[in-house]
Amino acid sequence: MKCLLPIVLFLAAPAVLAQDLTIPPRPEPARFVNDYANMLSASDEGALEQKLLDFDEQSSTQIVIVTIETLAGHPIEEYSIELAETWGIGQRGLDNGVLLLMAKNEREVRIEVGYGLEGAIPDAIARRIIADSLVPNFRRGDFFAGFDRATDELIALSRGEFTAEELFPERRANPQDVAAGRTIIYTFTLFLLTFTILLGRKLGASGTLYVLGTIALVILSDLWTEYDYWPDRQGSSFFLRLILIPLVLFAIGWSRLIQLRIRRTRFDALQREVSPEHWKRLKLLYDTEQVEQSRRSLFQEASVLDSSQGKPVIDLRAKTRAIHENPRKHFRRRNEADLIEAREKLEKAAIFDDECFLATERDRYQEKLAEDISYFERRSLVDLEPADRKRLDDSVAAFTLILEDPAAMLGLNEPLVREKVKKWMQAIERKFGRYKGSYTSASIKKTKASFMEKHAAALKQADAARALYLLYTGSLLALEASPGKFLVKIVRRSSSSYRSTGSSFRSSSSFSSSSSSFRSSSFGGGSFGGGGASGRW
């Protein structure tokens, strides 16, 4: 019994898979356009429906368009056959149905052809219709144009108005185009050979082999083109050569030029990295003599190199960068270095230029910083006494606190802070009006209301000036600097954007309002056997 269990499970597997394959119910009365994925407008859907209904009445051949949200992991070939057979598209006995299926999430499309039309619409032609008519339009988001053109071609083939060869003639080369193409090729060849020879002369002896190799490549490419191409063949082969030859030659020539340019750029960068200008900051923070001695040593190593020496230049640059990235490992740090770095940070943050802080405190701390830097410059490289070490640590700590909380250390110019916030809030409508059209109305309204609430709350606090200052710097000025942190940007969707749907399989609401004007029809039970083609966009 245990031996039979795997066989039973194997035989039952197709039935299980078939149960998982969810096919929408056949529409009653029959509709030729079933837009379950909501990819078409009401007018577009109606136009396609009318065209396919008229064709059904005139010829009894049924072409049905179905769009779905997802294949749920099933191959589109399996899904399309199951749907076509379940709905019975086409007439029984004639098997003259065509299903045009599109899966939105997987971005796949298939043309499923009934047994009776496989001679008129062979698989190769179905692939051409997908590649030429459906995919280009779908990629542009114009789903109606894709379906409209594809159904026109399917109708023409089904009626026998055109053969597949007449509708999709092979592209033949015009002899005049061939002559023009040859002229272009050989003109490019002459130009590129001249370019290659000049480049080889510039490279000197090292470029001789490169020049000979490129000339040989040009000759072989031209011989290949002439031998393999004749005017009675398709023109795509010839014009591929037309593109390929210049592309190969330019790739070879410019790759060499780029290589030379990269080497020159690295060499120039090395010259800058060993120049005195590049070492100024290290001299400011570390023992000047040690820094200059190291720079001179590197400069002497660089002076014997040139741009052709790739690896020595790279190695010397790496050595120079290692010194700049970790100077403490190579040089003695000056005692005033921490204070100098604190001054640079304060200047970058414009703390001492901010009128929101008391001018007297700003001036006092600026004078103290200058005095401390001057004091420790005179003791740059000596071992500090305990008293001097404490003074240095206290000074660095004080200026670090200024960076962290300048309002507490320097005090606030309360009248100025209140006036700045008051003016900003008075102009709140104008300030937020600038963001209309770029950010959503809901986020603008919500952020404006939040700012007004914060402003009212700040006025009620015991330390209102500090609360207003935090509102001014943390919200008002921050909004003007980076509105995207507070507001939601409007996403302008192109015509190719998908519209959301509420259900995978439902009658299209846009079609229901106009479908009553069309005549009803029914599917007759046609059979399908896998003829057709699939594609992706």
Tell me, what's the pLDDT at 503?
Answer: 40
Higher-pLDDT residue of 164 and 324 is: 324
Tell me, what's the pLDDT at 500?
Answer: 37
Tokens representing residue 289 in the block = 């003599």
Higher-pLDDT residue of 115 and 447 is: 447
Tell me, what's the pLDDT at 504?
Answer: 42
pLDDT digits (tens, 9 = 90+) for 273-296: 999 999 999 999 999 999 999 999
Band of residue 85 on the pLDDT scale cut at 50, 70, 90: confident
CB proximity list for 389: less than 8 A, separation 6 or greater = none
Tell me, what's the pLDDT at 58?
Answer: 84
- Residue 47: exposed, middle, or buried by beta-carbon count in 10 A (0-12, 13-18, 19+)? middle
Band of residue 11 on the pLDDT scale cut at 50, 70, 90: very low
Tell me, what's the pLDDT at 93?
Answer: 75
- Segment 442-467 shows an average pLDDT of 91
pLDDT at position 364 over 80: yes
CA distance 333 to 376: 12
pLDDT at position 2 over 60: no
CA distance 90 to 113: 10
Tell me, what's the pLDDT at 164?
Answer: 57
Report whether 264 contacts 308 (CB < 8 A).
Answer: no
The region, left, alpha or beta by phi > 0 then psi within -120 to 50, assigned to residue 530 is: left
pLDDT at position 18 over 50: no
pLDDT at position 209 over 60: no
Tokens representing residue 430 in the block = 């104008």
Q: What are phi and psi of 97, to 5 degrees?
A: -115, 150
Q: What are phi and psi of 89, to 5 degrees?
A: -65, 135
pLDDT digits (tens, 9 = 90+) for 217-270: 666 666 665 555 544 444 455 556 556 665 666 666 667 667 777 888 899 999
Residue by residue, DSSP assigns 456-517 as HHHHHSTTHHHHHHHHIIIIIHHHHH-GGGTSPBP----TTSPPP-S-SS---HHHHTTGGG
Residues of the chain with CATH 3.10.310.50: 25-170+505-536
Tell me, what's the pLDDT at 215?
Answer: 64
Tell me, what's the pLDDT at 177?
Answer: 60
Tell me, which fold does domain 25-170+505-536 have in CATH? Diaminopimelate Epimerase; Chain A, domain 1 (3.10.310)
- Segment 345-352 shows an average pLDDT of 92
